């Protein structure tokens, strides 16, 4: 199997060992294309102490995704906007950065991992397992969220009559989740006490029901 960004996909089980040690070369911070999910944005906004509106205005670009709905990418110039002789938001970095040099692929709620095309770290002779890599990078909770976030790919703009309503709801609930629109939605649906990740899952299921 091939992937446009990662080349030949070689699935790895979490217990399989391999050689890897990050060299801090920062190649992964340059010439990158990083798509953000809701949790990525939440962590970065909390770190920067800014609203989602401010965050998007300063740090993201918007594209049309494969399901014809908007996607938000972290700006590059060509390196990541948060790179300055190192990552300035390291503890709050997006899931893709935490998981690098691996990609993940979900099949029936099971996560598989594959290597990127090239990373100097694989040339180092430090043996590690994916389980250990996940633990060292504090990935457990993130991977659980991403596995649920994948449901967003089932939202199809072409399947709904009122497309403008779906697009606006999609943007506000998933990417501007501190907006007045979203605050009203949370109050109307009585989910104020839901943890953030559960609110996002609720939003996604709501959007799926509009299809």
185 and 173 in contact (C-beta within 8 Å)? Answer: yes
Q: How far is the C-alpha of 82 from the C-alpha of 206, rounded, in Å?
A: 33
44-78 pLDDT, tens per residue?
A: 999 999 999 999 999 999 999 878 899 999 998 78
pLDDT at residue number 138: 80
Burial class (CB in 10 A: 0-12, 13-18, 19+), 145: buried
Q: List the end-to-end C-alpha distance of the chain, in Å, as a whole number.
A: 31
184-206 pLDDT, tens per residue?
A: 999 999 999 999 999 999 999 99
The residues spanned by each domain of the chain are 2-150, 153-210
Backbone angles phi, psi at 19, to 5 degrees: -100, 125
pLDDT at residue number 146: 85
């Amino acid at each position: 199997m091939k992937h446009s960004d990662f080349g030949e996909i070689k699935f790895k089980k979490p217990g399989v060992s391999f050689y890897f040690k990050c060299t801090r070369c920062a190649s992964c911070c340059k010439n990158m294309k990083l798509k953000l999910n809701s949790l990525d944005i939440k962590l970065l906004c909390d770190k920067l102490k800014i609203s989602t509106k401010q965050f998007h205005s300063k740090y993201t670009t918007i594209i049309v995704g494969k399901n014809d709905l908007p996607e938000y990418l972290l700006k590059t110039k060509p390196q990541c906007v948060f790179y300055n002789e190192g990552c300035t938001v390291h503890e709050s970095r997006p899931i893709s950065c935490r998981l690098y040099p691996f990609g993940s692929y979900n099949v029936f709620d099971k996560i598989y991992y594959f290597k990127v095309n090239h990373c100097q770290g694989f040339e180092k002779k430090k043996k590690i397992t994916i389980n250990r890599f996940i633990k060292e990078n504090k990935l457990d909770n993130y991977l659980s969220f991403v596995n649920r976030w994948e449901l967003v790919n089932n939202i199809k703009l072409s399947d709904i009559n009122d497309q403008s309503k779906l697009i606006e709801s999609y943007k506000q609930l998933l990417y501007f989740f501190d907006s007045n629109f979203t605050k009203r939605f949370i109050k109307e649906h009585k989910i104020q006490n839901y943890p953030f990740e559960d609110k996002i899952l609720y939003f996604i299921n709501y959007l799926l029901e509009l299809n």
